[in-house]
């Protein structure tokens, strides 16, 4: 148990409980639930009552913002794994509407994370092939927690028409999310999924306007942000999640270091989005060896947007530190939230926090050891990979 003194230390964490906003969406405090894979939808990607109960618990526990697990955006190639929920059709969107209403009843805001898995798709029931910027196999191996095994497939190098299809799918999914009542959408541009693959130098060997220097490699993420802002930005908040590490390569860092960060965050901020969600293995660690700036600091410096920070902010002292430093405006918690589903209430009251994760985390995981191995090599903060 981590012990906290109820009165004397509470003032240290006051910044976590100040109100803020992401775009036009007001938040009662600075603590968000990070996106974490549940693998507990139906085979057709429809969210279940179990998923609804899962999110409602965190809303009741005081998290001002909940961000869904990655939701696949079309019925062709975007799904990442079996039993992943989608928001690709009216049936899926209607099921999310009931869940959104439950979260709102508890007083929390709710964002839908929109995801195309790209070449990190594992066992996609809709397609035998995967898509990527180039025909380059992701590093590492598929994960047992996703019913995957062996190396990832070598993806098909996407054509210009397939790129247009993906852009359109993000827009369609964003409209479904808006109509289902979500307060915002978060475009998944992190963790080695499709948009991040375009950004990643060794995954992208293209010679057209989507390949080459970092300005071209961020182009698809920038276009998707612009498309989604144009489609729903007047109605709901729009943001994007960005990382250096990925499911298949947690040690990856941008070769251009701060120059790349400047180009990436400036390009994204110019799209009209409302915030950036920065996820690193440790949010308070330097982004690059030999430097002192965190990736959240660089995102704030070059984007001037509100920043959500994610990555081992388990201790409220660390969570408050990154808020107090001005590098982030909101913290997103994964593993500590699973262990303490009322984390904000506990911290506010000065109550002990449990370090213990529940044995039945989600869906059909073979055993806790499988999940722990997956967490160690994948998600920066770790509830499961999103």
Please tell me whether residue 59 adopts helix, strand or coil conformation: helix
CA torsion through residues 354, 325, 306, 246, sign = negative
**Catalytic residue (one of 13, 193, 275, 302):** 193
Please tell me whether residue 378 adopts helix, strand or coil conformation: coil
Residues sharing a CB contact under 8 Å with residue 248, sequence separation 6 or more, in sequence order: 120, 138, 139, 140, 152, 192
User: In degrees rounded to 5, what are phi and psi of residue 168?
Assistant: -65, -35
CA distance 11 to 8: 7
- Displacement of CA 107 from its chain's centroid (Å): 22
Give the side-chain half-sphere CA count within 13 A for 152: 29
- State the burial class of residue 182 (Cβ atoms within 10 Å of its Cβ: 0-12, 13-18, 19+): buried
Angle at 21 between CA 17 and CA 26, to 5 degrees: 85
Query: What DSSP element (H or E) covers 111?
Result: strand 109-115
CA distance 330 to 318: 12
Can 193 be counted among the known catalytic residues?
yes
In this structure, what DSSP letter does residue 212 have? S
Give the pair of three-digit tokens for residue 142. Answer: 């598929």
Active site residues: 193
């Amino acid at each position: 148990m981590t012990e906290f003194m109820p009165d004397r230390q509470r003032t240290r964490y006051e910044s976590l409980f100040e109100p803020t906003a992401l775009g036009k969406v007001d938040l009662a405090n600075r603590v968000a639930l990070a996106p974490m894979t549940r693998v507990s939808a139906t085979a057709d990607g429809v969210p279940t009552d179990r998923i609804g109960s899962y999110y409602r618990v965190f809303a009741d526990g005081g998290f001002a913002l909940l961000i869904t697990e990655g939701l696949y955006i079309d019925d062709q190639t975007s799904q990442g794994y079996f039993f992943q929920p989608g928001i690709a059709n009216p049936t899926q969107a209607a099921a999310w509407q009931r869940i959104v209403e439950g979260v709102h009843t508890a007083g929390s805001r709710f964002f839908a994370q929109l995801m195309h898995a790209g070449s990190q798709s594992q066992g996609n029931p809709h397609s035998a092939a995967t898509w990527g910027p180039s025909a380059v196999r992701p590093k590492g191996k598929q994960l047992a927690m996703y019913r995957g095994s062996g190396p990832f497939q070598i993806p098909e190098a996407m054509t210009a028409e397939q790129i247009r299809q993906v852009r359109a799918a993000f827009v369609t999914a964003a409209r479904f999310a808006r109509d289902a009542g979500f307060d915002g959408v978060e475009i998944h541009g992190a963790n080695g999924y499709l948009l991040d693959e375009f950004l990643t130098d060794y995954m992208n060997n293209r010679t057209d306007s989507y390949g080459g220097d970092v300005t071209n490699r961020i182009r698809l993420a920038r276009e998707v942000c612009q498309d989604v802002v144009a489609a729903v930005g007047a109605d709901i908040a729009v943001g994007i999640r960005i990382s250096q590490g990925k499911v298949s390569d947690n040690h990856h860092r941008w070769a251009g270091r701060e120059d790349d960060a400047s180009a990436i965050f400036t390009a994204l901020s110019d799209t009209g989005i409302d915030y950036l969600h920065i996820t690193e293995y440790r949010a308070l660690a330097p982004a690059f060896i030999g430097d002192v700036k965190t990736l959240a600091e660089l995102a704030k410096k070059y984007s001037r947007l509100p920043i959500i920070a994610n990555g081992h902010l388990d201790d409220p002292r660390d969570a408050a530190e990154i808020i107090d430093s001005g590098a982030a405006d909101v913290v997103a918690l994964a593993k500590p939230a699973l262990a303490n589903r009322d984390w904000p209430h506990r911290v506010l009251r000065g109550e002990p926090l449990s370090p213990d994760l529940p044995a039945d985390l989600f869906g059909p995981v073979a055993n806790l050891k499988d999940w722990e191995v997956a967490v160690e090599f994948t998600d920066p903060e770790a509830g499961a990979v999103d």
